[in-house]
Amino acid sequence: MEPSTYKICMEGTVQGVGFRPFIYTLAGRYALKGTVLNGTHGVEIVITTTETLLETFVLAIKEELPPLASIDKLTTTQIDTISFDDFQIISTEDEGEVTVRIPPDVSVCSQCEEELFDPTNRRYKYPFITCTQCGVRYSIIYDLPYDRVHTSMKFFKMCEVCKEEYSNPLDRRYHAQPIGCYECGPTLELRDNQGNVLEKPRGVEKVAELLKEGNIVAVKGVGGYHLMCDATNAEAIETLRQRKRRPSKPFAVMVRDIQMAGKFAELSQHEERLLTSKERPIVLLQSKGNHEGLPLQIAPNISRLGLFLPYTPLHLLLLDELQRPLVATSANVTDEPICTNLESLEKLQGVYDYVLAHNRVIVNGCDDSVVMVVGGQEVILRRARGYAPASISLAKPLSEHVLALGANQKSTVAIGFDNQVILSPHIGDLDSIESIEYFRKNIESLERIYSFNPTLIAHDKHPNYESTKYAILRQDQEPNTTPATERVEVQHHYAHILGVMAEKKLRGKVFGVVFDGTGYGDDGNLWGGEFMVCDYTGFERVAHLKYFKLLGGAKAIKEPRRVALSLLFDLYGEEVLDFDKLSHLSGNATIQAFNNVELKTHYLAWQKGLNAPLSSSVGRLFDAVASLLGVIQVMSFEGESGMLLEELYDGSVQEHYDFSMEEGKINILPIVEAMLSETDTTVSTSKFFHTLVEMIVKVYEPYDLPMVLSGGVFQNRVLLGLVLKRFPEAVISNAIPPNDGGVALGQVAYFLDSS
């Protein structure tokens, strides 16, 4: 059989993962001659061989992929015959539209970890050891293709030994873009909180001493700084809480290895796999006993722990030296992005005692990812380091280039083109100038890296969202672009369902259940307890919670007592002001949370509808229940009420409260009234969870459609677990968060059709 020349093109995660040396080695095995290069679409191979050997070669590529690689698309085309003398890795081709995936940052691999602790290795205890199978990627990228000149490693000139490794196709570090060593790579620097440089440490021994002494150290990692302290030191943790003004929100804890994790938390096999995966997310776990050896200040009043394993050589060295767990919380001012450099870190000068910095620039900030397992399913609560940027393939191509701006909380942005969507890492809440700038920077980064020019901008319908304001500004600034950028509003809860449909490649109609805190509805009210029949052409709102008023508007989001009081006014009207007449309200926690003047003021606001928007939100209903039961009246962080109610749930209680539904409006007042007559808070809470499940059962009964779940309330492990138990076939997202972090994907999917 005469040999012919073939071009093999592969798209997916095929750059920055050791793909070309893998192909080089494979070509050597089969004595093939030709070339391989990185291009803007992925990896391109040209070989001259027989058809039979070509098939064997392609099969070997698919079956023996490097651990970090994945192929979305592989095409083989016969071209004009070319004669080759050998097989070579040739220079990157960077012409044309960029479609290749941006590789995410991943944890240090076992081979590098072994070398890290090998006294005979030249990189012994080098904090930035890496190879093609591990280490930083997205956080150091300026542009694609992923080559050193397009990363912040371009500022470090390789020594001769590193250059030899980098240039040898048979070496594990061949074209490992972040390659370096003590002679030529990034270095550490220790400062005090006044910015004075104390030393340029070769190791981490001094920092470990400072942590053991109870100090708080800001440590620069992959996508930003952590604030770290000894997780076994209650006094240090309390100091961190006071300085950061974070009274009760749980802290994440970094543990040395899976054995240490097992000392503090119950681990299923699934959770253990997540902890040790290359992504190394924070995993929410059931703590053993009463935090079993960790101070209660780690997670006050919560029996869940957020644990994660070290993912950089620097973290490994610290934990190996300490032999104890570390609090590792994101270094950021509340509602602002994670600090990525010394300038942004200065805002936290009063929080930390020392800074352990390094001189490798973080180009793209990226927080830690957070994951939990419920009913055997992975649920991502924050998709960031290790998982992002996410590339999600669509069931069919888009006809437009879509820029999706997401929502306002748990913000992410996305670009959609051809049959893929690139979803940014977690950005956060757009509640500060810094977070809005970070939001814009993420858009600029995606557009620059992918040479992306949108023809459509999709955004939320809420007129006051910063993402909406940006969409209007963006369109106004580009009136003469060709083609003109069109701006399209997508209803918030519909986008939630579309995001799951896009991820799971669902076609046709689905029954969507969206439980969240807030979202702008088509009628101008704040939705959040929604039942929809959806497809890609539109949705029908078939049921929702009957509206109630949020006293004080945005203030009600942080004060459950305001929502609960509004419901009491709905039930009893002016009698609430003279609650002694209503014996079951005497001593009620919500009433006691206000003085008489406040009660009268809020009643007038409720009566006249002054700064009291209407809401159908299940998230706010959770808040109201927590207030009525005396669990919490004012929250210090989002979702606190739901987390505390989780703690009160008793699986032995199976009853639920009655509720009524008329013309698709679910009346929750009978639930509230029945709760007020309960004497056992655990029983009340447990029945409340079951009532929410029964609501879904009642509304879903007439429909024979796939059920899709979305919205931030489904981050509640008790509720989600009960719904999945009742509806095992229900679909929830696994690749995107159920919270607003998945809205941008849904906004892109709006431009698909149901055909």
SS (HEC) of 204-270 = CHHHHHHHHCCCCEEEECCCCEEEEEECCCHHHHHHHHHHHCCCCCCCEEECCCHHHHHHHEECCHH
Tell me how far apart the alpha carbons of residues 237 and 494 are, in angstroms, rounded to a whole number: 42
**Helix or strand run (H / E) with residue 532:** strand 529-535
- Give just the sign of the alpha carbon dihedral 591, 595, 596, 600: negative
Q: Six-digit token pair at 58? A: 């392609």
603: left (phi over 0), alpha (psi -120 to 50) or beta: alpha
Length of the chain: 755
Q: Position 296: which residue type?
A: L
Tell me how far apart the alpha carbons of residues 31 and 479 are, in angstroms, rounded to a whole number: 57
Tell me how far apart the alpha carbons of residues 459 and 508 are, in angstroms, rounded to a whole number: 23
Q: Six-digit token pair at 715? A: 């981050």
Q: Six-digit token pair at 608? A: 């006249």
CB 649 within 8 A of CB 718: yes
Q: Tell me which residue of 154, 200, 203, 158 sits closest to 181, measured CA to CA.
A: 158
Q: Say which DSSP state 315 is in.
A: H
Q: Six-digit token pair at 43? A: 């990896």
Residues of the chain with pLDDT under 70: 1, 92-100, 291, 478-484, 579-584, 586, 754-755
Q: Tell me which residue of 22, 17, 99, 9 sits closest to 63, measured CA to CA.
A: 22
What are the backbone dihedrals phi and psi of residue 700, each rounded to the nearest 5 degrees, phi first? -75, -20
Helix (H, G, I), strand (E, B) or coil at 302: coil
Q: Six-digit token pair at 315? A: 């973290």
CB 689 within 8 A of CB 718: yes
Tell me how far apart the alpha carbons of residues 731 and 713 are, in angstroms, rounded to a whole number: 15
User: Model confidence over 161-193: pLDDT tens digits?
Assistant: 999 999 998 899 988 999 999 999 999 999 999
H runs (alpha helix) in 277-312: none
Cis omega before residue 389 (within 30°)?
yes
pLDDT value at position 755? 45
Question: How buried is 392 (Cβ within 10 angstroms: 0-12 exposed, 13-18 middle, 19+ buried)?
Answer: buried
Tell me how far apart the alpha carbons of residues 612 and 621 are, in angstroms, rounded to a whole number: 15
335: left (phi over 0), alpha (psi -120 to 50) or beta: left
Extract the runs of DSSP E, i.e. beta strands, from 684-732: 707-710, 731-732
Helix (H, G, I), strand (E, B) or coil at 46: strand
- Give just the sign of the alpha carbon dihedral 576, 578, 583, 585: positive
CB 331 within 8 A of CB 342: no
Count other Cβ atoms within 10 Å, centred on residue 249: 19
Residue 408 has, within 13 A of its CA and on its CB side, a CA count of 17
Which residues have a Cβ under 8 Å from the Cβ of 55 and sit 6 or more positions away?
Answer: none
- Give just the sign of the alpha carbon dihedral 433, 439, 443, 445: positive
- Please name every residue paired with 5 in a beta bridge, in sequence order, or none if there are none: 48, 79
Q: Alpha-carbon Rg of the chain, whole angstroms?
A: 28
Q: Six-digit token pair at 393? A: 């393939």
pLDDT value at position 341? 94
Q: Six-digit token pair at 562? A: 């305001």
Cis omega before residue 21 (within 30°)?
no
H runs (alpha helix) in 85-232: 110-116, 160-167, 205-212
Tell me how far apart the alpha carbons of residues 695 and 672 are, in angstroms, rounded to a whole number: 15
**Helix or strand run (H / E) with residue 58:** helix 51-63
pLDDT value at position 237? 97
pLDDT value at position 59? 93
What are the backbone dihedrals phi and psi of residue 639, each rounded to the nearest 5 degrees, phi first? 85, 5
Q: Structural domains in the chain? A: 4-89 (3.30.70.100), 188-371 (3.90.870.10), 389-490 (3.30.420.360), 545-732 (3.30.420.40)
Helix (H, G, I), strand (E, B) or coil at 320: helix
Tell me how far apart the alpha carbons of residues 699 and 693 are, in angstroms, rounded to a whole number: 10
Cis omega before residue 706 (within 30°)?
no
Q: Position 430: which residue type?
A: L
What are the backbone dihedrals phi and psi of residue 70, each rounded to the nearest 5 degrees, phi first? -150, 145
Q: Tell me which residue of 627, 642, 559 sits closest to 589, measured CA to CA.
A: 627
Q: Six-digit token pair at 456? A: 């459509």
Q: What global pTM score does this model have?
A: 0.93
User: Model confidence over 573-629: pLDDT tens digits?
Assistant: 998 888 666 666 767 899 999 999 999 999 999 999 999 999 999 999 999 999 999
* Cα–Cα distances in angstroms (integers) from residue 543 to residues 149, 559, 664, in the given order: 55, 27, 4
Count the helices and strands in the chain (H runs, E runs).
23, 32
